[in-house]
Amino acid sequence: MRAALALTLLLTVPSVASADWLLTPFIGTTFGANTNLLLTANSGNKKFNFGASFGLLSDGVLGLEASAMHVPHFFETSASTNVFLTSGVTTLDGSVIVAVPQAITGYSLRPYLISGIGLMHASAGDIYKFVPFDSNLLALNLGGGAIGMLSNRTGLRFELRHYRNLKPDSSAVTLSGASTRISFWRASVGTVFRF
């Protein structure tokens, strides 16, 4: 009787899904930037970005990831009205991935949603030294993408994410004295290395 009960429990308990470690260096572009920092009216222009992510993705639904990205010249423009000498935005975050299970997608393109929270470091220095800005902000990201494996060990990853700060910074000079607002979209493509 006990053996039959043990066998029944063994057959009805779902097996633990296997998981893969994924390392993904990526490049991309930011667009749709929105900020209220003084002298940054044109920061919505597209900007090159680069970074990398490292995470664990199961064959089931869930995964975890740490990601870092840098956007050089974030607040600068090519216009003659540009007053910034240097600027940039760097993000470091941890995220949760919710993916379509591999049992459904097989080894084809695997869509997923991703969301996380972390640090956004934004800095800018203008030629007049009027509105220097150098701040660490709590930030939220939300997006989605797809991973397609080309071989057992390598693949491609396409992703779109939206970033925005959650924590205001009282040291920044903003339009109308409002709380600091920095947000933007990131579109990226990366090479996936599976371990």
What is the rounded CA–CA span in Å between residue 175 and residue 35?
9
- Model confidence at 12, pLDDT cuts 50, 70, 90, reads very low
pLDDT value, residue 125: 76
Write down the pTM of the prediction. 0.82
Domain 17-194 has CATH 2.60.120.1440: no
In the chain, domain spans: 17-194
* Mean pLDDT, rounded, of the chain: 83
Q: How many CB atoms sit inside 10 A of residue 48's CB?
A: 12
pLDDT at 7 over 50: no
pLDDT in tens, 26-73: 999 999 988 877 555 555 578 999 999 999 999 999 999 999 999 998
Q: Tell me: the pLDDT tens digits for 73-114? A: 888 776 555 566 778 899 999 999 999 999 999 878 999 999
Please state the rounded mean pLDDT for residues 174-192.
Answer: 82
3-state helix, strand, coil in the chain (%, to 5): 10, 60, 30
Return the number of other C-beta atoms located less than 10 Å from residue 139's C-beta: 23
pLDDT at residue 82, rounded to an integer: 57
* Count of beta carbons in the 10 Å neighbourhood of residue 154: 11
What are the tokens at 93? 């975050």
> For residue 183, what pLDDT is reported?
93
